[in-house]
Amino acid sequence: MKNCFQKMQKDYESERIFMINLEKFKGVFPAFPACYDEKGNISPERSKMLARYCLEKGAKGVYLTGSSGEFVYQTVEERKQVIRAVTEEVGGKMTIIAHVGACATDDAVELASYAAQCGVDAISSVPPFYFAQPEYGVMEYWNAMIDAAKLPFILYNIPGTTGVSISFDIFKKMLENPYVIGIKNTSLPVMDIMRFKACGEDNCVVFNGPDEQFVAGRLMGADSGIGSTYLVMLDLYLKADEYIRQGDFVNAAEIQKVMTTTTLKIIQKHGHLLSGLKYLLHLQGMEIGSVRRPLVPVNDQDKKELNEIAEEIREATMRWCGKIPGKV
């Protein structure tokens, strides 16, 4: 695959032709959480363990060092550790997308170049945040990463955390760059999925972001999904995806009810959503540490309620998939 990509890149540079197999980006992509050791440091071993779990369960791929990966609380070197660990473990066996966005363009470019060296399948980035940027400034930021990596690129729209909404016009303009293949959209109006898809139609991939609307987003045109809660309910998301592909939207919607209800219960805890998810993974046999401050860890009351949620996930997974969630 690497030789094939190099050949296609050469064709692009000489003839302005560039072809990418979009099928490898269609499916269920867990948003990879930060895996820490007992001292709160990045754990390559735990990252590899979790990557193997995703592969063995049948996920299409993983999305690294994004929001769920706590990228805003990590150094460039720490993010490199995650990218290196996961590509060493499952590179070439599943699709790996590395989010390389950072506050400083130089850091993002360094990460993009490193991710390409490690052999990821694509890179992705939020728009520049904190300071407002003109449209041309946003495009320059993304294009700098693309130039450094020469890999398929996926925009990441998550206005609820960045405070920046990617417009349909800027997405259309970015699609003129042959390396740009799609967008991960985590805005809440499900109609946005349809409008982003219309920008590129079959020549782009749209990833549904909000877990609560995985099925609805797919019906509105999303090709794939990337989400934080996928890991704790991976069998259910894979089953819902299967039903969608079969055209069985009734059963897909029934599973979505379970996933949405569970997600909302986790969000309503004292601890941050990510800390709740990590505790659920602990209950499913996967130790990846807690969250970094200022994210709030779960408290004792949270744990009691999350134990009940874990049982609900277990019962739903047994009902719909005939499996026990987590590592067995």
The residue behind tokens 């769920």 is 68
- Is the separation of the CB atoms in 141 and 127 below 8 Å? yes
179 annotated active-site: no
Q: Which of 26, 57, 80, 184 is catalytic?
A: 184
Strand order in the sheet with 205-208: 28-30, 224-227, 205-208, 180-185, 153-157, 122-125, 95-99, 61-64
* Catalytic member of 156, 230, 243, 279: 156
Nearest to 120 by CA among 141, 148, 161: 148
Q: What is the DSSP string of 192-203?
A: HHHHHHHHHGGG
Q: For residues 282 and 278, give the distance between their C-alpha atoms in angstroms, rounded to a whole number.
A: 6
> Catalytic annotation on 237?
no
Torsion on CA atoms 179, 185, 186, 190, rounded to nearest 10: 180
- Which residues are part of the catalytic machinery? 156, 184
